[in-house]
Amino acid sequence: AIDWGWFEFLTKPIFFALEYFNQFLGNMGLSILLLTVLIKLAFFPLANKSYKAMSKMKMLQPEMMKLRERFSDDKARLNKEMMGLYKRENANPASGCLPILPQIPVFFALYKVVFISIEMRHAPFFGWIKDLSVADPTSVFNLFGMIPWTPPDFLMVGVWPLIMGASMYLQQKLNPQPSDPMQAKIFQFLPIIFTFLLSRFPAGLVVYWAWNNILSM
């Protein structure tokens, strides 16, 4: 009777894994943390290859900046020189995206589990998270309940979304910055955008994403 969605091949195993871990841990939030560790271990070879590629790109950044200054008025020549640099140094700028791609279906599968499973309803984590299937009830805009005011939904940015945003920002600092100044500025705003975007997502998903970022670092 359950609609597992498009990613049934992932959603069902994730659900049964969380159920199994919960029998021993007695907490769905801890089960999500343990599952995230296992997922990270499964993707480690791919992620390790990606991190090596990103490290190489970070080492090449000074050279890339010199090329950008030298050929700032000739985009075609700049692109040609950049490609030559990548080829000489055996670097692939696209390799940094590899570990992100497999995580997208996992994220959606967990999202589906949080929404369809009765077991996740009113499942507490720790502290103020009394229900992992709903959004973090706190908000920085009323000083986490110290001010007697309920902000509108789009301003309900709680503690866990802030932790997720901070972890995303720190992880971003470890990665090589885009050589294009405009792209670099856009990337700087991504942690803020995702903090507001995920603030209304179920707390279980935000905990997963924050913990996933911390493990990546």
Residue 179 pLDDT: 63
Q: pLDDT of 120-143, one tens digit each?
A: 888 889 889 999 989 999 999 988
DSSP states of 36-48 as a string?
Answer: HHHHHHHTHHHHH
Written as six digits, the tokens of 212 are 């996933």
Written as six digits, the tokens of 116 are 């369809």
Q: pLDDT of 139-163, one tens digit each?
A: 999 888 888 888 888 888 999 999 9
Report, as ranges of residue numbers, the positions in the chain whose pLDDT lies below 50. Answer: none
b/e map 175-213, b = 16+ CB within 10 Å: bbbbbeeeeeeeeeeebeebbeebbbbbbbbbbbbbbbb
